[in-house]
Structure 1
Amino acid sequence: MRAWYIAFVYVLMCAIVYADEPQEDKKKIFELSANNVTSQGNVVIAKDNAFMLSEDVYMYADKITYNREEESALLEGDVRIYRGGSLFVDATRVDMNLKTKHTILQPAYFQNENGMWFSGQEVQNTDKLYTFKKAIVSGCDVQFPIWHLKSSSGRYDSQKEYVSAWNSRLYFGSLPIFYVPYFSFPTATERKSGLLSPELGSTSREGFVYIQPLYIAPYKQWDMTLSPQIRVDRGYGGNAEFRIADEKNNIARLNIGYFRQYEEYIRDYSLLNKEIFGFEAEYSRAGLLEPLFKNYKDHFYTSIMYMNDLEYKRLQKLNGRYSTRLHTSRINYFGQSDNHYIGMYFKYFSNLAQASNANTFQTLPNLQYHHYLDTIFSKHLYYAFDVQSKNITRHTGYTYWQNSINVPLGVNFSLFKDYVNLNGKVDLFASNVSLNNYQDVLDPFSRSRIERSAQYAYANYEIGINSDLAKAYKHFFHTIHFEGIFNAPAYRYVSDMLSNQVYGAYSELAENMSSAALQAYWNPNEIIDFSSAQPRVDLKLSNYFYDTKGRELFFYRIYQRIYTQNQALTQNQSLRQEIGINLFDGLSVTTNLFYSYVAKSFNEASVAASFNKFGVQSTLNYFFRIDSQALQSGTYNDIANRSGFLRGSLKYDFGYFQFSGNLGYDTQNNYFKDWSVILSRDIRCFGIALKFAADVRPILTTNIENPIDTIANQYIKVEFRFVPLAGIGFTQRLQNQ
């Protein structure tokens, strides 16, 4: 109901005729004029285009009678009052006393710049308290409003900035559809505490659902929203969201949620958790320490979420949707100057598809110092410097602390009048790994207990050549980019724990062991990527075509990585191609293709198309992927190692109504993941929408072997929008499986 103040704020005559604060120290402005002005003692009568100015309020009337001794004015006929060019008041008779601050309007009509209007049979004001009788409020046409509110009486307290109304009825045309015996709402543009629009619905699985948000704003710096809810057949709970602003108006947000499910509901659907709870915290701020250092910029960011069930996010709304089983919580800070960069990163990974995340590696923290690319001795010679320290921990299993240094040294030359660029680089890297809780961990090659520490160092050299060419034609502009990079190790040192034999032995174990049994063995892949020490060639080609106005018409990019001494690694690499087409205004198509040499076919592809013209807005996305490694190892399963989906949307305004719809289809398992169809109609003051939708949601169950189950949810939602007051909707779920 907060938006109701837009209509009633113009009831207050202190904001129309004089300000509420004391005027003794202000210079009063007064002016009275008309085509015909007569005076009888202390009474001045102005007729024909009568105009009166009192401070910042402009008043027009057919006749104005002003008593100088009593400081009172009577405005009659076609009375119009303006303030600041945005306030409009229309009345037949206005009787005001500038000394006692008492005003009577009979009848009164108010309208703001947004078209919201208020009509009252009589409005009276004494100082800071206003009363009105038989008021009508609407944002529609005055003569035939689609909707309007009728209140028998009410009052406005300008000091507390609140309006109270009695016996209010909401009409759709001439049909009454809602009655409220009493309500109050704020009139100020500043935030005020109060009830927000509720969410109402009914489902076959949860019964009647009622969510009632309560907004609390005691101070300008912070506010909060409490949202208690009840789902009659499922349980009860609520959410509390707290928001606070710092001196730079960056908002910190904390949300806490709790829901308790009934025993019968848990038993009927074999659910895992009786109590569902979680919390979220978000805050982002630039310039945290900038005032302390010269030429220094920094940024702090945190996004933390914990929940014991996927339903924690869904229960925040009536039709909340959340299907992401994996989530990463982050706390990051970085600072940089012209040449230097420092960073500190915390990452916590959670997977609700697992019974426990105790074996999941967490980065708490990762510290980094980086010296940006800079020249040394000559403009053709460059270097950079990077140091990182990572604490990789978890609740069970071995943990480790890894320190590493990386120093790239390079040279760059331009040849053939800058048509060709030649560059070379030596990449120096060294790393030390120190383990904890490693006593029961076995070496996959020797099957003996692993050592506590491991070292790794290499010097890789790289030679690259590239060329950028561009040419303008009569109807288009063309650019082409070639690049070839050869990278190989010049020197390599590894501890026994990181040898090629250990990598190979672990790969064999991973193919034949369960993930639980594999936890007893040391995994070198978690420290260093084996492929990084293999000689390789990267080949790239890019083409771009633009029209004469600079709009991109077509592009084609191709990329291939070849391992010169390891055919198996090369076979795992895909030939990547990207194609983009924008030949017609409003139509855009982008395609990514990955060709697998193992499958001898495309192992991954995506197509994204959009069309926005002639009032039609549509998108189409397609994606599929097969696991090439599983295919190569002979363990490929078409169900487990293949995935694909199709998603599309369409929106068009037919004039009488607007249509919008979207769908998501699993092309591998042949079922609709979700779909929705919305029919809506919006005019200046009223909107209505009818939504038909369905989705498939994962839920946590007591099944240990398969903890994630799915339910199919279908529902209908109808929503009414009374512009600019508020909107209200009702949802009915049709089926759950």
Structure 2
Amino acid sequence: MLKRIVLLCTLSFCVVFAKVENVELLANTVTKNGEWVEASGEVLVYSERYLLSADRAVYNEETGELELFDNVSVLRGVYESSQSNYAKINLKTDEGDYQPFFYYDQRSDVWMQCESAISGPAYFVTDNSVVSSCNVQNPDWKIGFSEGKLNRETSFLHLYNTLFYIQDVPVFYLPYFAFSTDKTRRTGLLIPMISYGKKEGLFYEQPIYIAPHDNWDLELNPQIRTNRGEGLYSTLRFVDSPYSKGHVALGGFKEKSAYAEEENLKNKEHYGLEAQYQRSRLISHLLKKEARDGLWLDFTYLNDIDYLNLKTSESDASNQLITSRLNYYLSQEDDYLGLYAKYYIDTKKINNDTTLQELPTLHYHRFSNYFFIPNLVYSVDSQFHNYTRDKGISARQYEINAPLTFYTALFDDFLRLSVSENFYATYVQYDNKRGKNSETFYRNYHQFSAYIDLAKAYETFYHTMNVRLDYTVPSFDHGEISERIIEQDSGVEINNFISTGHEVESVAAKLVQYFYDDMGKKRLRHSVRQPYYLEKSLYKYGDLENSIAVYLSEAWTLRNDFKYSHEFQKFSRVQSSVGWNASPHKFSFSHTFLDEKTDARKSYLTASFETTLGKYYNAFGSVNYDVEESYLSSWRLGLKVSKKCWDYTFIYRESVTPKLTSAGSDSVNRRGFYIMFNFYPIGAVQYEHTVEAER
């Protein structure tokens, strides 16, 4: 049987590409009596649409009726195949009758089995059937039904009086059920989402997918939370050129008055707009051949954080500072132009009148180039920053930085030297500031650098090292920038401020080294940098920066980065991590500590793992712990079981989710379990039960 199917599949491709119009019949014995043709013994019949095989066949040339007996195999087109003991097919009208009937769709791996079936050009109908995508023998799941109809044009299967089985155990009954056997992109209903929360009640979302054209589609996500309210979210995805793509999301949720009052919510309606767009070749194709450009837009507007929390049953907006970005650059051989903008929404605040925005930043850079002689190189970098807000100090800053560097080498390129003159100037104009309305600062400093690159092979390893020494000497400066513009509220900080990058006389030593084993694989990377200040008014040592990564094996990696402040005699930043990746097992653990002057003290642990147990089981989990605040911000533990025709996932999780109340920012502890069953290709069923409590 397998050889016959392979032969049928092979010949079918020939039929498709040869476009055979006449019916041809091959067999061991063929007799003709008028319009009737009888064949027996390894019968093969092929036409423009079909490729068939049987032990015996009878064909009427006038009516186009073909009867096949015993071991009947039918291949229709490229993807549909069936088997039966008897089949009667009209090759002209494409109508057929099969007894019994086994059908298989190669595109979706769906099969059906029944006692009898009838077919037409655009459909076939079966009675008392079973459908599944699992193994034919002892399928893990199957659906029994009294009547089914497959629309061949829409690839949609309609089932009536359905009974769903796990193995041979009936689980649930539906009077009607339908699903698509086509995996191509098309308009229709997507998998519904169902969950339950103690406070919010039953959650139900029915996604609607609209795809009228190849270059755009629209997804509507209406939802209801029985105790809380109703909402509608939508996403429009599009491709408007070969070099660009984007999406626009718009949505809103309306709270029930009783729920909003009980939870003391700031807003009874939560709404927002999101847009992402990226494009290359915006105008660069109109310029020189080497020109490059790119546009990136990531925009979010919302009235409060619950717009994100309510998008789906799984939404968890842990970051309360929402940042929108616009970046555009245009680069040619020698020049770079940039336009950037950042817009912040601090969802912890009742309003954002005092939140500092960057609208916009303009950037021009002249790439390094020769200045009269090959060893003398210059570059220019200039920027304009507009820092604005409705209430509080705003500012416009203009700055330019222009280094001029001379390079040379000694001792047959063993020692390389550079001398640079660095010119910097900035002008700041303030709004809503008491005292000076503007300030100016400019400076010049010299920098002398010496560096060497060394490499040596040993018996069991290979070592490379770069040693660099920079000596900075300030020449002159004039003026000062006295105002530091910064927005900080409850640990949320926008790191925008007027900075002159003040230079002092100093020496900075830096070492970067690599170790490779005898097979050429990297085993260790290490870098360290230490500045030393020569001015008497300052402490002697700047921050020590150290970074090391150890690759113990193909699986194990250790990393540590720290910055140590000699001034305050403490570590201002420490990040450590260990990772293990020995497929199919993964594990990572990290700790981050921050205690910088411009940052609130932070310390948190993160860990995650994923592992495959046996052939079908995948376990995973993650945890995030805030050491400074002494609480688990989130954790989850799950198990996924994957088989050929279905998978199911169990997850238990807890998380701290922010919300905006009339009194300001607050948070709730959300915990519960999540279950999802995914049956290929009919879709998924999921259930979530969550409980919320004030943190």
**Given the two structures, how large is their TM-score scaled by the length of structure 2?**
0.90
Deviation of 1:465 after TM superposition, in Å, equals: 1.3
Q: Which residue of 2 aligns with 1:290?
A: 284
Give the 3 Å change call, closer, same or farther, for CA 30–399 of structure 1 in structure 2. same
**Counterpart for residue 601 of structure 2:** 642
Paired residue for 1:521? Answer: none
In structure 2, distance between residues paired with 1:514 and 1:394: 14
Conserved? CA contact 2:12–2:78, under 8 Å: no
Q: Is the 8 A contact 1:456 1:493 kept in 2?
A: yes
Structure 2 residue corresponding to 1:32, chosen from 25, 30, 46:
25
For residues 471 and 562 of structure 2, the distance between their equivalents in structure 1, rounded to whole angstroms, comes to 24
Q: Does 1:272 align with 2:266?
A: yes
Equivalent residue, structure 2, for 1:635: none
How much does 1:515 deviate?
A: 8.3
Distance across 2 between alignment mates of 1:456 and 1:601: 32
Q: CA separation in 2, counterparts of 1:647 and 1:112?
A: 46
Does structure 1 residue 552 correspond to structure 2 residue 522? yes
> Which range moves more in the overlay, 356-365 or 304-313?
356-365
Aligned-pair CA distance for 1:26: 6.7
How far did 1:315 drift?
0.9
Matched, 1:124 2:118: yes
Which position in structure 2 is the counterpart of 1:73?
Answer: 66
**Contact 1:61–1:78 under 8 Å retained in 2:** yes
User: Structure 1 residue 590: deviation in Å?
Assistant: 0.6
**Closer/same/farther in 2, CA of residues 425 and 57 from structure 1, 3 Å limit:** farther
Among 343, 347, 364, the alignment partner of 1:369 is 364
SS at match of 2:113: strand
| CA distance 1:679–1:567, change in 2 (3 Å) | farther
Shift, 1:343, TM fit: 1.6
Residues 570, 672 of structure 1: alpha-carbon distance in 2 compared, 3 angstrom cutoff? farther
In 1: Cα distance, 2:629 partner to 2:497 partner: 33
| 1:203 aligned residue | 197
Which of 257, 260, 270 is equivalent to 2:254? 260
Give the distance between the partners of 2:488 and 2:195, measured in 1 at CA.
45
Q: Which residue of 1 aligns with 2:443?
A: 458
For residue 385 of structure 1, report the CA deviation from its aligned partner: 2.2
Deviation at 1:178, TM superposition (A): 3.5
Q: 1:405 aligns with which of 383, 400, 403?
A: 400
Alpha-carbon distance in 2 for matches of 1:693, 1:559 = 42
Superposed CA offset, 1:60-98 (max 9, x none)? 211222222222211221122336765432222221112
Q: Is the 8 A contact 1:716 1:734 kept in 2?
A: no
Structure 2 counterpart of 1:708? 665
Of the three residues 324, 327, 332, the one matched with 2:327 is: 332
Query: Following the alignment from structure 1 to structure 2, what is the Cα–Cα distance between the partners of residues 619 and 720?
Result: 28
**Residue 241 of structure 1 aligns to which amino acid in structure 2?**
T
Q: Is the 8 A contact 1:424 1:463 kept in 2?
A: yes
Aligned to 1:3: none
In structure 2, the partner of 1:592 is: 561
Name the structure 2 match of 1:583.
Answer: 552
Which amino acid is 1:327 matched to?
Answer: I
Q: How big is each residue's C-alpha offset from its partner over 1:90-122, in whole Å with a ceiling of 9 and x where there is no partner?
A: 222221112222222223222244643222443
Q: Which has the higher helix share?
A: 1
User: Offset of 1:568 from its aligned partner?
Assistant: 4.7
CA distance in 2, matches of 1:644, 1:399: 32
8 Å contact from structure 1 (residues 381, 410) kept in 2: yes
Q: Select 1:620's aligned residue among 589, 592, 597.
A: 589
Task: Give the CA deviation at 1:569.
Answer: 6.7
* Pair 1:584–1:163, CA change in 2 (3 A): closer
Give runs of aligned pairs for residues 297-316 of structure 1, distance below 5 A.
297-316=292-311
Q: Distance in 2 between matches of 1:186 and 1:140?
A: 16
Q: Distance in 2 between matches of 1:569 and 1:96?
A: 95
2: distance between equivalents of 1:515 and 1:695?
23
Check conservation: 1:107, 1:122, Cα contact below 8 A: yes
Which of 461, 467, 476 is the matching residue for 1:491? 476
In structure 2, stretches of 5+ residues that fail to align are: 1-10
Letter in 1 for 2:102: Y
Q: How does 1:118-517 map to 2 (within 5 A)?
A: 118-159=112-153, 162-186=156-180, 188-248=182-242, 250-295=244-289, 296-435=291-430, 437-438=431-432, 441-442=433-434, 449-451=435-437, 453-494=438-479, 498=480, 502=482
* Contact 2:456–2:464, Cα closer than 8 Å, also in 1: yes
Match for residue 38 of structure 2 among 35, 41, 45: 45
SS of the residue corresponding to residue 308 of structure 2 reads helix
Q: Which amino acid aligns with 1:711?
A: V
CA distance, structure 2, for counterparts of residue 29 and residue 364 of structure 1: 72
Please say if residues 114 and 127 of structure 2, whose CA atoms lie closer than 8 Å, have aligned partners that are also in contact: yes
Quote the Cα distance in structure 2 between the aligned partners of 1:182 and 1:362: 55
Tell me the TM-score normalized by structure 1.
0.85
Q: Indicate if the aligned counterparts of 1:61 and 1:79 stay in contact, CA closer than 8 A.
A: yes
Q: CA deviation at 1:49?
A: 1.6
CA contact (8 A) 2:27 2:42 kept: yes
Tell whether the 8 Å contact from 1:577 to 1:592 is kept in structure 2 after alignment: yes
8 Å contact from structure 2 (residues 181, 681) kept in 1: no
Query: What's the secondary structure of 1:217's corresponding residue?
Result: strand
Deviation at 1:189, TM superposition (A): 4.6
Is this contact kept in 2: 1:391–1:402, CA < 8 A? Answer: yes
Looking at structure 2, the residues matched to 192 and 180 of structure 1 have their Cα atoms a distance apart, in angstroms, of 25
Which segment drifts farther, 135-144 or 164-173? 164-173
Question: Relative to structure 1, is the Cα distance of residues 162 and 141 closer, same or farther in structure 2, using a 3 angstrom cutoff?
Answer: closer
Count of aligned pairs: 675
From 489, 494, 497, give the equivalent of 1:526. 497
CA contact (8 A) 1:185 1:194 kept: no
CA distance in 1, matches of 2:269, 2:44: 69
CA contact (8 A) 1:129 1:156 kept: yes
Deviation at 1:462, TM superposition (A): 1.5
Between stretches 604-613 and 130-139, larger displacement belongs to 130-139
> Partner residue of 1:8?
none
Q: One-letter code of the match for 2:441?
A: Y
Of 682, 687, 691, which residue of structure 2 is paired with 1:730?
Answer: 687
User: What does the per-residue CA deviation read over 1:279-320, in whole Å, with 9 as the maximum and x for residues that have no partner?
Assistant: 100011111123312222211110000122222112111121
1:543 aligns with 2:528: no
- Structure 1 window deviating more from structure 2 (694-703 vs 395-404): it is 395-404
Deviation at 1:601, TM superposition (A): 4.0
Q: Tell me if the contact between 1:138 and 1:148 (Cα under 8 Å) persists in the aligned partners.
A: yes
TM-align CA RMSD: 3.0
Residue 634 of structure 1: aligned partner: none
Equivalence for 2:676: 719
Q: Structure 1 residues 570, 232: CA separation in 2 closer, same or farther (over 3 Å shift)? A: farther
Bigger shift: residues 112-121 or 601-610: 112-121
Aligned counterpart in structure 2 of residue 62 of structure 1, from 43, 47, 55: 55
TM-aligned CA distance change 1:545 to 1:514, over 3 Å: closer
Query: Is this contact kept in 2: 1:208–1:233, CA < 8 A?
Result: yes
Paired AA for residue 558 in structure 2: V
Q: Deviation at 1:56? A: 5.9
Paired residue for 1:519? none
The answer (yes or no) to whether the contact 1:666–1:673 under 8 Å persists in 2 is yes
Identity %: 27
Pairwise CA distance, 1:232: 1.5
Could you say if the C-alpha distance between residues 84 and 609 of structure 1 is closer, same or farther in structure 2, counting changes exceeding 3 Å? farther
Contact conserved, 1:459 with 1:489, CA < 8 A, in 2? Answer: yes
